Amino acid sequence: IWAWLCPSPSLLLGADVDAPETHSTELLQTRRAHFAAAQKNYYVNPPQIERGWREHLFDVHGRCYLDMVNNVSILGHGHPRLAAAAGRQWSLLNTNSRFHYSAVAEFSERLAALAPPGLDTVFLVNSGSEAVDLAIRLAWAHSGRRNILSLLEAYHGWTVASDAVSTSIADNPGALESRPDWVRPILSPNTYRGRFRGRNASEGYIAAAVEELARIDESGAGLAGFIAESPFGNAGGIPLPPGYLEAIYAMVRERGGLCIADEVQVGYGRLGHHFWGFEEQNVVPDIITIAKGMGNGQPLGAVITRREIADSLENEGYFFSSSGGSPVSCVVGMEVLDVMRDENLQANARDVGDHLKSRLMGLMDDFPIVGAIHGLGLYLGLEFVRDRESLEPATLETAAICNRLLDLGVIMQPTGDHLNVLKIKPPLCLSRESADYFVDMIQKVLSEGW
C-alpha cells in the first residue's frame, strides 16, 4: 500500500531545484561551534536533509537525493509502519529493559530464532560498539584468558574495547601504536590488494594467523577469542578466501578461545543470498554482534550467544543497560523484522543487488579507473585505482567523484584504508529503477574524464 500511494520520487532525482546552496551556512556554523573536529561529516558543505522516503532523502529546498550509503535505515526512510509501531508503544510505556515486559521477551525470542541452533541467549544494547565491547567481555569471562585476535584494517566501533580491535589505518592512523597489548592483529585477508592474492590466498593468510597464534601462546595470557566480519566490510565487502574462517575458528577453539562474528554491518539480510555473513564461510560462531539495521535507525544492538557463555558474565559481576532493549526499541525491532518479511526485503537485496553488481561490472570495460566491484547483495564496493596492475589507489579521484555525484543527487562516501572505495549500502528496498539511476550517474561522472 505504501509503495502504491506515493509516486516514485526518483522522478525528481538530480532535478535542479532553484537552490544553489544545498546546506544552511548558519546551521553549519552552529554545528561547527558545538562539534569536535573528530565528529566528521564527509562533505564540506553537506546538504541539509529534512525528510526521507524509501531510498530517497529530501533537503530543505525539496531537492531529492538517492541515499546509497545508509545501512542503518534498512527498510528505507519514513516507513509508516515503524512510525505507527513506535508511536503506539511510546504512548503505552517506554522504560528500561529490566521490567517484565512482553516486547522485550518476544523480541529476544525472535532474535534467538534467527541465530544458528544453540545460540539462544540475547543481550540487548544500544549500538554496535556496545555489542562488540560486550562480546569481548564475554570472551574474557568465559575463557578466563585475555588476548583477542582481530583483523588489521577492520572496524568494529568507537568504544574502548571495540576501538582497540579496530585497526583501520585510514580511520585511525594512531591505532597501531596505541593499541592495548591484549589486541593481537593479524593480516587482513584482503584478496584484492593484500599480501596474498589468487588461488593460494587462503593458505598465506592462515599461515600468517598461525604465526601470531604461536606468539600468543608464548605470551602467557592465552587466547580469549577472535573477532571478524565476513565479508570484509571496511574494504567494501571483499569475500574472505574460501576456508579461511573455518581454519581460524578451528585453531582458536583448539586454544580455548571463542569466535565472534561481527554482523553489525553486513548481516541481517543485507547480503541478500544469506541472512548472516558467516554463512558464506560455512562456520557457526560462538557470539554474534548485531546493530545498525535491526532498529532502522532506532538505537538498538544485540549480542546473541550460547547460554553457558552468557552465564559466565555473572562471575565478572553484572550486565545492565538503562535503555538497551527498551520496549520502544523492541517493538521497533520486531516491526523491522515483520516489514522485512512482508516486503521480501532480503530477496530484493539479492535481486536488485545482483542486477546492480552486473551493471557496475560493465563499467570496467570502458573506465580503467574502475579496479574492481566487490561484495554481494546490497553490500557492494566500487574500488577506484590509478592502474589495474599496481593497484595504486585513486584516492583524490574518489573524493572528486563523490562530490560530483552529490551534484547529481547521489549520496555516497569513500571508505577503505585508502579512501578509494565507494561502499554501496543503500536501504534494502532499493528499486531496480534507483539502482539503474545510480549506475547511470556513475557512468556520467566517469565519462566526464576520469
In the complex with ligand PLP, the residue whose CB is nearer, 157 or 185, is: 157
In the complex with ligand PLP, the residue whose CB is nearer, 10 or 126, is: 126
Q: Is 229 in the site for ligand PLP (CB under 6 A)?
A: yes
56 and 287 Cβ atoms separated by less than 8 Å: no
Q: Which of 57, 85, 115, 132 binds ligand PLP (CB under 6 A)?
A: 132
The Cα 354–Cα 425 span in angstroms is 13
Using CB under 6 A as the binding criterion, the count of chain residues that bind ligand PLP stands at 14
Parallel, antiparallel or unpaired: strands 121-125 and 64-67: unpaired
Segment contacting ligand PLP by CB under 6 A, of 41-49, 115-123, 144-152, 257-265 = 257-265
Q: Is 155 in the site for ligand PLP (CB under 6 A)?
A: yes
Segment contacting ligand PLP by CB under 6 A, of 111-119, 244-252, 260-268, 360-368 = 260-268
Q: Is 265 in the site for ligand PLP (CB under 6 A)?
A: yes
Q: Is 89 in the site for ligand PLP (CB under 6 A)?
A: no
Backbone angles phi, psi at 349, to 5 degrees: -60, -40
Q: Which of 54, 156, 306, 418 binds ligand PLP (CB under 6 A)?
A: 156
In the complex with ligand PLP, the residue whose CB is nearer, 155 or 278, is: 155
Q: Is 262 in the site for ligand PLP (CB under 6 A)?
A: yes
- The residue number with the shortest CB distance to ligand PLP is 128
Cell numbers for 192: 584484492
In the complex with ligand PLP, the residue whose CB is nearer, 121 or 126, is: 126
Q: Is 281 in the site for ligand PLP (CB under 6 A)?
A: no
Q: Is 293 in the site for ligand PLP (CB under 6 A)?
A: no
Q: Is 264 in the site for ligand PLP (CB under 6 A)?
A: yes
In the complex with ligand PLP, the residue whose CB is nearer, 74 or 385, is: 74
- Binding footprint of ligand PLP on the chain (CB under 6 A): 127-129, 132, 155-157, 229, 233, 262, 264-265, 291-292
